[in-house]
Every structure is written in C-alpha cells, then in structure tokens.
Amino acid sequence: MIDTHSPAPSLPAHEGPPETQPSRRRLRACHECDWLVQLPPLHRGQSADCPRCGHTLSTRHHRPAERSLALAIAALLSLVMAISLPFVSFQVSGLGHRINLTETATSLIGLHQPLVAVGVVLTILVLPMVYLASVIWLQVGLLRRSLLPASRDIARTLSHLHPWMMADVFIVGALISLIKIAGMAEVSLGLAFWAFCCFALLLLLTTQSLDADWMWFSLAGEPAAPDGAVTGARATPQGLTGCSTCGLVNRLDADGNGRCRRCGERLHARLPHSLQRTWALLAAATLLYLPANLYPIMITTSLGHSDPSTIIGGVITLWQHGSYPIAAIIFIASILVPVSKLMALAWLCLAVPRSGELNAVTRIRLYRITELIGRWSMVDVFVVAILVALIRAGNLMSIAPGPAALAFGAVVVLTMLAAMAFDPRLIWDPPLPRSHQTGATALSTSADKDVAHDH
C-alpha cells in the first residue's frame, strides 16, 4: 500500500514501453484457460490473443495515456451536463412534469424502495464518476512522469468497477420508457438526455481505451519472470498463476496461494470454493426469481383506477398494443436472459468434473456469453425507475414501483456475482478420477501428469 501523505513517487526506472524490451520474457497466464504464453512486442493497433482459447491478453493503442485522459474528461463533462440539465418531461390533459436524471433514484426513495434507488444511482452515476476520476488521476500522473499518491491502489479498483457501470443499459431503459408512454402523453427530451447518451458512448470508449498491460508496466515496471517457467503449457502445474488485476505471472506457495509482486492482489491457483459459491448464488437467484415474476413490478394508476403489472403481463400488454419490438426486448432482457444465465451457469458447474479439451472451447464461449449479457437484465429496473419519476400526476396518471422491482434487481446482481464466482479455468482442467471429483477446485495432484495431458 502507498502512503497517501508521502511525496508523489516517481515512475519506475525502466527503459521505454513494453514493446521496446523484446529481450525480456513477459509471460502471461490466460485468465480463462491457464495457458502460459510469452507476449510478443506489440505496436499500436495490435492485440495478443491466447493461442488456446482466444481470450485477448493485451491490446495496444496509439498514445494510450493521452487517449484515455481525453475520453475520460469528455465523459465526465457530459455526465455533469446530464445531471445539471432537464432530462425528460411529459404532458397529459394540461398537466405536466419534468425530471432531472437524479430524480430517477430519489423518487424511488420516496416510494419506499431505497435499495432499488441505491442500485440505480450507483450503476449510472456514482461508480462511473469514480471510474472516470480514477482514470484521469492515473493518466495525469503517467503524463507528468511522476505518479500521484495511491496510484497503484486506484489502478487495482478499475477492473472491479467495470462490470457494474450500466449507463448504456440505462439508455435502452430510457428509450423503452419513452416509447411505452408516447401513446398516452406528449414526451419531450431535454438536453440532459442527449448529454447522457454522449456520456454512455464516451464511457464505453474510455473502458475500451485502457490497456492494463501497458498501464501497469508504466506504473510499476515488470519484475523478471519466475525461474523455470515453461510456455506452451498450463501455469498451475508449474506452481504459477497470472494476476487477474495486472497480469503479472507469479509463483504460488505450497498451498496454492500468494500475492502479486507488482500490484499486491491476492492470488489463488483457482478461486476458493468456486463451484460452491456459484451454486449458492444461483440458488438464491432462483428463489428470488419466483417473486420477481409473480408479484407486480409496477402499479399504474389512471383516472383513479390502479392496475398492477407483472413482467410477463407487461410484455403481453405491449404485444397486444402492437409494440412488438419493445415487447421482444423486455421479454429477452427480463425473461429469457435471466433464465438462460441460470441454466448455463448451472450446466457449466455440472460439466466441470467431466471437462476436457474437446468440449472446452464450446463451454468457454458459453461462459463469455453469460458474463456479457447478464447486466442487460437491469433494463426493466431502469424502466420502472424512469416511469416512476416521470409519471406523477396524482389520480389522473401515476406509476409506483411494485414489490417485484427489488426482487428482480437482486436476481440480476446475484447472477452477475455467480458468473464472477465461477472460475473459467476449471473448464480446462483435466478431469480427476471419479473417486476424487469433489467439484470444488478440481486440480491435478501431479504437475508432470498435467503437463503431459496438455501436450
């Protein structure tokens, strides 16, 4: 840990970027299949992929520090505009209402849904702001050739924040909300709506502009590779593992644990109790999925008459009114994606003891899909948050969140955590004898036997 009260540390003494040191062994252990490789010299526009599973290990950009800094500043300015200006307004029968972006969360607090409100404000405002401020802090230090305080600790948080930023999902939710009420009221988009669209795009570009390999090399150099490391084989049988944060290959202790020499992250041969944790999270998500679909997700009041609507009920209503694209989007995001993710992760957990090279490629692709699509289920929660804040005309027309909103939000979070708890390297591990298949972290007890299997 770096003392934040000490003078700003200087950049490590290394000669130029990674591509200027082709003679140094820059090893990487793939986070998805555990294959140990040596990174080639990379120039702008080039990327290095794992030869075993195809996972991208590093992507090099032109002027990466300047690129990320410019995008992060532009994204942060767009977010400030989106917060400060009117977001959207509606008018019906002479009554109207205009909301700011922050009201999508504060309205939920007033209607006794504080946990949903916290989830909304964290995913669309707080975490993106922290992420962008962290990127600016790091890149300014790199451009000054003198690291700002706590740079390494801040850099460690970036990869952990990334999955939970959902500005792009919120935009889709906003569009669905506006289409749903376009036939009932006159809707006007404020400048904040367009500013937030720009922010979502710039945030996506900022995350894609970061090259962790280049950034960590610039922050802390690269220690020499462990002695005796053999590339073209699995890392774990050699007592090695790659850091999930900075990518550096480290040697583990006798118990299969350790700490990264470069960033200080905890290291494990396999995530501890990976399958048990995944099963527990899947079970909790499955239990909550029942009330999320049986109870109403929102309650619409029109001319004094209240009409509760479940998720599937809303899909049917939209379909009957001819809104086929919106009905299809909500059905896919709120019904098909959660169920598919639960089933896919459960099948991967069951298939781990029978893993093998022949079917590992198909299974790793399935895992990548489940990890990619899981966050998009939040679109229904964002639809509720926007409609609740916007439609507030008393008995004439108003919308309140139903009890299913919290349950469904919890399902999305739990399935995302389940995907993170599952260690994809287990897919590539050779199956143990039937008497030793405990299903927790199936590793071979003989390094020689594992290396022979890989070849």
Tokens of 354: 């029978």
Q: What is the greatest pairwise CA distance in the chain?
A: 79
CA–CA dist 206, 132 (Å, integer): 8
Q: What is the average pLDDT score of the chain?
A: 83
pLDDT reading at 123 higher than 90: yes
Residues above pLDDT 70, as percent of the chain: 85
Beta-ladder partners of 234 = 35
Judged by average pLDDT, the poorest of 236-240, 249-253, 429-433 is 429-433
**φ/ψ of residue 58, rounded to 5:** -160, 145
Cα angle, residue 349 at apex, residues 358 and 207 outer, rounded to 5°: 85
Is 0.95 topped by the overall pTM?
A: no
> Amino acid letter at 121?
V
Higher pLDDT: 302 or 329? It is: 329
In the chain, what are the domain boundaries? 64-214+272-431
Q: 324-331 and 167-181 helices cross at what angle (nearest 10)?
A: 140
Residue 326 confidence (pLDDT): 82
181-190: average pLDDT: 77
User: Which residues, in sequence order, are CB contacts of 302 under 8 Å at separation 6+?
Assistant: 396, 397
Structure tokens at 140: 């300014």
Model pLDDT for residues 319-373, shown as the tens digit of each residue: 887 778 888 888 888 889 899 999 999 999 998 877 666 578 888 999 999 988 8
Q: How confident is the model at residue 304 (pLDDT cuts 50, 70, 90)?
A: low
- For the cut 70, the answer to whether the pLDDT of residue 433 exceeds it is no
Q: Tokens 């290291």 map to which residue?
A: 267
Confidence of residue 440 (pLDDT cuts 50, 70, 90): very low
Decide if pLDDT at 402 tops 80: yes
